[in-house]
């Protein structure tokens, strides 16, 4: 019986999505049991920021573990094969580390505040450290990028800016005029972090890298 390569590849993509969803639930459910009552009292901004933080954490964990284990990692991550993970090891591990630190910092900040579960100083320190590490990792990785990766990185920043500015700017203007309620400060941070995440997928998708068929 002849196998249909296209159907097989789509099956792998679906499996990746299912594994990602299961991993997400495995993290989100315990987190909500622990922090749910506090987040419910803190408002929608804290809830949104914690959700974005969990996404960054999951991405960092999946990319980091997948890169360290190229065999099974190539089945989980969107790469053509184990060789891709080996060739891009330094870049992928740097990106995974940045994602982990940002996710942890966003979660810490969402759990800080009056009667928070995380001390304010710790949350601010974690956020400052995450931003600093992102800058350092970005500068170091720029030397490792080829022309395609550099263009994608530039496009990602531009797309994120074009997504965040109109939305946040329009809401700020309407809030100033009293047409809509002002949003919480954490909403701004959550929106910017989410815009950057979405922009990275758009930049990759524009170059046909969003779905790569495995070898």
H or E element, residue 209: none
Q: Provide the Cα torsion 103, 104, 110, 113; round to 10°.
A: -150
Give the residue-averaged pLDDT of 94-113.
Answer: 92
pLDDT at 215: 52
Quick one: tokens of 11?
A: 């099956």
Angle at 179 between CA 177 and CA 182, to 5 degrees: 80
| Window from 23-27, 35-39, 47-51, 197-201 with minimum mean pLDDT | 23-27
Of the ranges 8-12, 21-25, 169-173, 206-210, the best mean pLDDT one: 169-173
Q: Is the pLDDT of residue 136 over 60?
A: yes
Average pLDDT taken over every residue of the chain: 81
Q: Is the pLDDT of residue 204 over 90?
A: no
Give the residue-averaged pLDDT of 124-141.
Answer: 92
| pLDDT confidence band for 106 (50 / 70 / 90) | very high
Give the residue-averaged pLDDT of 101-105.
Answer: 95
Q: What is the pLDDT of residues 160-175, one digit of tens each?
A: 999 888 888 999 999 9
| pLDDT confidence band for 148 (50 / 70 / 90) | confident
């Amino acid at each position: 019986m002849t196998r249909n390569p296209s159907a097989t590849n789509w099956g792998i993509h679906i499996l990746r999505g299912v594994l990602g969803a299961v991993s997400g639930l495995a993290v989100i459910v315990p987190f909500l049991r622990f922090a749910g009552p506090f987040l419910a009292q803190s408002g929608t901004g804290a809830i949104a920021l914690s959700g974005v933080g969990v996404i960054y954490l999951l991405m960092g964990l999946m990319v980091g573990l997948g890169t360290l284990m190229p065999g099974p990692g190539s089945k989980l991550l969107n790469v053509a094969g184990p060789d891709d993970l080996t060739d891009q090891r330094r870049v992928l591990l740097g990106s995974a580390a940045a994602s982990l630190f940002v996710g942890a910092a966003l979660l810490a900040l969402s759990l800080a505040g009056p009667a928070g579960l995380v001390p304010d100083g710790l949350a601010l320190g974690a956020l400052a450290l995450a931003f600093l590490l992102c800058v350092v990792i970005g500068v170091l990785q720029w030397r490792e990028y080829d022309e395609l990766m550099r263009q994608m990185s530039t496009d990602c920043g531009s797309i994120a800016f074009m997504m965040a500015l109109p939305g946040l700017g329009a809401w700020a203007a309407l809030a100033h005029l009293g047409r809509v309620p002002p949003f919480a400060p954490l909403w701004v941070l959550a929106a910017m972090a989410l815009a950057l995440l979405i922009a990275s997928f758009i930049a990759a998708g524009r170059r046909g890298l969003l779905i790569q068929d495995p070898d």
